[in-house]
Amino acid sequence: MLHYVPAVIALLLLIILFRYLPGRVFFIFAFLTAIMGGVLLHTQMEKREEPPLTQERLAAMNRDQELFVPWWNDYQKGIGELDRCWTRYHQILADAKNGESDIRATYARLSELERDMQDLRARMDKNVPPVTLSDEIYNPVASIVVKTDAYVAAEQKAVTLTRAAADPAAMQEKKPAEQARLLELVMLRESPVALFIEDEIGAVRKYLAPVSAVHRDERVKPDETTKKTND
């Protein structure tokens, strides 16, 4: 019942202000009030839609966390390896640009990197999320997998095309500086922007937050008990 009090107050204010404010100012005020009311209503509806935190739901969250954490740890390891491969890629091109490696050495290093990235992608593809996860966590995790696969594919494509451009048999440029510039252009054209999974990670954290809070409380309790005993 208390939810309707702000609406009643806002309505009374509109009636009063309608008599004393100029028409244009009143309509601006009414428009802003309507927007704020819509935001508040949407927030209240979202809060009401959240399922009650029952013991059964907590148990389901605990089970989901036990399934999610191993998958997430493996996922992070794969992302770490991917970052190292991408760092190698930029280092190879930097060495070519600085004249520290000729086109044959650059081609050999890019070929090795390409094989390493193919192997990494095959291993990352095997790290599928558990299908027994609840929908609340499985859906964002599945979205992470789809976005990551597209990102890995884009990086792998960039390396492959750069390796093809560095093939000494096909290279048309003769000057090392021009060769390095050509490879850099391929890198700039083909490199993916970024891996945007912040929303999905936020959804997972929000879902598991009650379970994490319970675990934190359980870790604190023994310390508190020990303190009371010592006192």
Q: Is 96 left (phi over 0), alpha (psi -120 to 50) or beta?
A: alpha
Burial, 97: exposed, middle or buried (Cβ in 10 Å; 0-12, 13-18, 19+)? middle
57-97: pLDDT as tens digits? 899 999 999 999 999 999 999 999 999 999 999 999 999 99
Q: Is residue 23 predicted with pLDDT exceeding 60?
A: no
pLDDT at 211: 85
Distance CA(181)–CA(96), nearest Å, equals: 9
pLDDT grade, residue 129 (50/70/90)? Answer: very high
Q: Is residue 220 predicted with pLDDT exceeding 80?
A: no
Q: Is residue 148 predicted with pLDDT exceeding 90?
A: yes
pLDDT grade, residue 212 (50/70/90)? Answer: confident
pLDDT at 38: 63
- Percent pLDDT > 90 in the chain is 66
Q: Is residue 139 predicted with pLDDT exceeding 80?
A: yes
User: Of 138, 109, 145, whose CA–CA distance to 124 is shortest?
Assistant: 145
Distance CA(98)–CA(79), nearest Å, equals: 28
Residue 73: CB partners within 8 Å, gap ≥ 6? none
CA 156 to chain centre: 20
Looking at residue 133, what DSSP letter applies? S
- Average pLDDT estimate for 164-180: 94
Range with the lowest mean pLDDT among 25-29, 66-70, 75-79, 123-127?
25-29
pLDDT at 215: 55
